[in-house]
Structure 1
Amino acid sequence: MTSRSRPILAGLATGALTTGALAAPLESQRLEALRQTLSAPGAASEFWAGVKVSGAPLIESRPDGSALVTFLWRGESNREVELGWPVWTADRRENHLQRLAGSDVWFKTVRLPAGTRLSYQLAADPKRGAPGDRAAYRAGLVAALAPDPLNPRRWERSSVVELPGAPPQPWVAPRAVAKGRLATSVFESKALGNRREVTLYSPPGTAKATPLIIVFDADRYLSSIPTPTILDNLIAAGAIPPVTAVFVANPTRESRGGELACNPAFADMLAYELLPWIRARASVSDDPNKTVLAGSSFGGLISACAALRHPERFGAALSQSGSFWWEPENGKTPPDAAGWVARQVQAQDRKPIRFYLDAGLLEANGGSESILSTTRKLADVLRAKGYEVRQVEFAGGHDDLAWRGTLSDGLIHLLGDAR
């Protein structure tokens, strides 16, 4: 797994922020007002009393529709507090909360675009392990991450920021509709020499051959992104036809990066082993235009790569925040060049594939090699080649909370007319 396939979990020691007269004003007007009055008895207690009523984080609207969002932590004895959120950064210290000197107030202020929706956690004093042992530190950090105790809005084990204008996610909650059936089997690939769980979703009430969706990272799309529920709701509402879905698990955490990083052997396995295996167990269309590959991060990357390798079998790719920054070890190019996948598209004749590509506005860190930038470049190259492509940018980061909403948009776009 790469550092860009999950939210970055940051942390080094932090210092207190000076309250001296020469210090620059804080971005947050509420925190600046507190800083100016800290010498008054009870100022910090009064601030925390207000937070208890309004909740955290602090949200201060800007004239352009964006907002200053200030994450908070209350603690006098902590040595450090760290923010785990779905925004990649090369410098881990960027995710540290600072302590307002002379107080128990820890804070980090960021500017977020209108309509942002994201999940986050906080870690106070994570265990570091031996100096320089990144694996031990990461393990300690993950163990320390927890929901924000000052924020009443929760999702799974995370807290939620949702700014005004965040798009609705109407398909994720269970409804009183007919439900599809789930069955999990073990699939063995002779070509790859491994075994994995594969979960088959069969739609309710149909005997016809249906469109097929193959979804990567099964654990994610069967839980945090509740795809079976989303499919039940979309089918019941007539937004898409009845579909069969297959959720493909990773044999191990380590195998994910090797298989999903545009691995041609994995793409061949999908075409020559998994697809016949599915067709022996479910009535699915043999029309490539009704066969969709779908996933996020590395799963979005392999969705595009496998379709480009086997357009005779997979005619549509749904990529959520695809890792199109990826380059093979011998394929690095100047920073302003299109990414490796885009270069393959440029070098080949157009193929009968439709694309849905999305990426978050908060996935811009990394400049020309960020997920947002490389997704834009790929979309431009696809359009120039004459491909049908829909590119969507949402106000969020590398986050299941965002993807659980945009997944339905991609499915409707690619399958809404597949009848």
Structure 2
Amino acid sequence: MIAAGALPKCVAVGIDNAGAGRGLDYLPNKPGAGPQGMRQDAANWPGGGSASYLAHVAEEILPAVQTRYGTTLDPSKTLFGGSSFGGISALQAATTYPALFGRVLCESPSLWVEEGRLLERACEYDGALPERMFLGMGGREYTDRYEDNEANRGVDAKMASWTTTLRDSFAAKGMGDDRLKYVLEAGAIHNEGAWARRFPVALDFLLGRGGAEARSAGVAAAVDGMLDLLAKGAQRQGHLAFLCPSTPTPGQRVRLYVNRANSPPLARKPNTSAKGGFDGWRLGGFEAAMAPAESLRGVGGDWWVVEVEVPRGVERLDCVFHDGGGGWENNCGADFHFECAYPVQS
């Protein structure tokens, strides 16, 4: 994104976590087991040192970085971010040091800590807030870790609702769409892969130079770096097709890839096209000729690609592939489906 001109040059400072003891740095109190005991595994985890940790970052690390690398202390160019317990740390930074960290990235914050009391305090907070904040959450962050059943899907919904409550509270305090971006990603789990997918969107909102052309080029440059990993991961898992970015945002143009080498109906055929629709084939539709993916020649297989636009307001992209002569690749009758990320509107 920097090379594409979508972001200014910046210095990224990564502070390693303390592993099992990370709650001591990131949380204002011990996490507890969560509402209705949803996290019994965390009942005895440490916490309570977040004020000291943030003071260390603000009073020692930031000045040291500025001295060594000549970085600015302009809050509009200073970002603090974290995920999970680190997302709670980012939330604490937003309310404790808003004049220092003018940009805050809060991913999948563990708002279940303290049986929900931390969320209550955040909603009751009436002080200053950062100029911009990105808030991200996945729709399957609990059932990915625990059994996927009706009760646990209810916990997924509660976790999403808690994040929405935080968004609503900050919006009521004056953080409109120009200052607060909330992305609730359907089907996303609680891991680094999900946070990486949302990262280009978050950076663009928090630090981007603006302008559709710069944003498009910046996001494209960011996802190009993930392309080989996505293709190799698809091959390793036996997947015939993937998207880049893997979870698109409605309104975004994405690249759809298929590995013809692993598809008998398409292998060695002169032509391949993609036929698609949205939301269970109920909305819209497209059909487009594909071309060899030159950038993946070194990965192995026979990857072909086409660029398509995901309309605003949809939640899923559906597609199949054909050779134009009666040969169809439809995933053994199941078709191919890709969930979308979607911003939750105010």
Q: Aligning the two structures, in what range does the TM-score lie when normalised by the shorter sequence? A: 0.3 to 0.5
Normalized against structure 2, the TM-score is what? 0.47
Instruction: Give the structure with the larger helix fraction.
Output: 2
What TM-score does the superposition give when structure 1 sets the normalisation length? Answer: 0.39
